[in-house]
Amino acid sequence: MALDTSALNRQRHNLDHLDDVWLFGYGSLIYKVDFPYLEQRVATIEGWARRFWQGSHDHRGTPESPGRVATLVEAPGVECMGVAYRVSPRTFEHLDHREKNGYLRFFTPLWFSEEESVDGLVYVAGADNAAFLGPAPVDEMAEQIARSHGPSGPNADYLLKLAGALSEMGATMNTSLSWQGWLRISLWPGRDPASPPR
């Protein structure tokens, strides 16, 4: 699959006939909301786990030194907590560009409670996309995140901001990165561990 998936996403789902669409965010869409929305709610999706297995060549790294950002991998019995936004279909012009680095849109049920759900779109970067990095030992992933930097800033700040936002929601990272890995990122030489994420 091509690295830039923005055109492919527009072909996959024609949303023009809809008044609004629910979108599920599980990574930077939780804390960096640079798009208008009509409604915002905490939600979960079932059967998916958040993992730092996607390479970032355009936001938190470069083509020569990609960062690691979140994607979802199938995980039966697992719930992933995030934030759902009800948005205008026009919003996806911006979102498709933002999530163009290997992410495809999929419809999936979003659960607001045990009794209430709605179908919504989620961006997933699968193993067949050109930027996919896959699993690695925790120390290797931590070192890669600690040293990576892209147009949107340090990769470490992405991880720490996401961890903080999830903590405020009462959720956990639920990823293959352990607390030891996060600590190693914070203490990596060259980065002030006391400095707040930008």
For residues 76 and 104, give the distance between their C-alpha atoms in angstroms, rounded to a whole number: 20
pLDDT tens-digit readout, 106-127: 999 999 999 999 999 999 999 9
Mean pLDDT of 48-72: 95
Q: Would you say residue 64 has pLDDT above 60?
A: yes
Report the catalytic residues.
99
Radius of gyration for the chain, computed over Cα atoms and rounded to the nearest angstrom:
16
pLDDT score, position 177: 62
Q: Would you say residue 99 has pLDDT above 50?
A: yes
> Residue 21: CB partners within 8 Å, gap ≥ 6?
15, 86, 87, 88, 89, 91, 92, 120, 121
pTM for the full predicted model: 0.88
For residue 152, give both structure tokens: 């949107």
For residues 6 and 9, give the distance between their C-alpha atoms in angstroms, rounded to a whole number: 5
Q: Which fold has domain 6-186?
A: Hypothetical upf0131 protein ytfp (3.10.490)
How far, in whole angstroms, is CA 104 from its chain's centroid? 12
Q: Between the CA of residue 57 and those of 43, 133, 174, 186, what are the distances in Å?
A: 28, 11, 24, 22
pLDDT score, position 111: 98
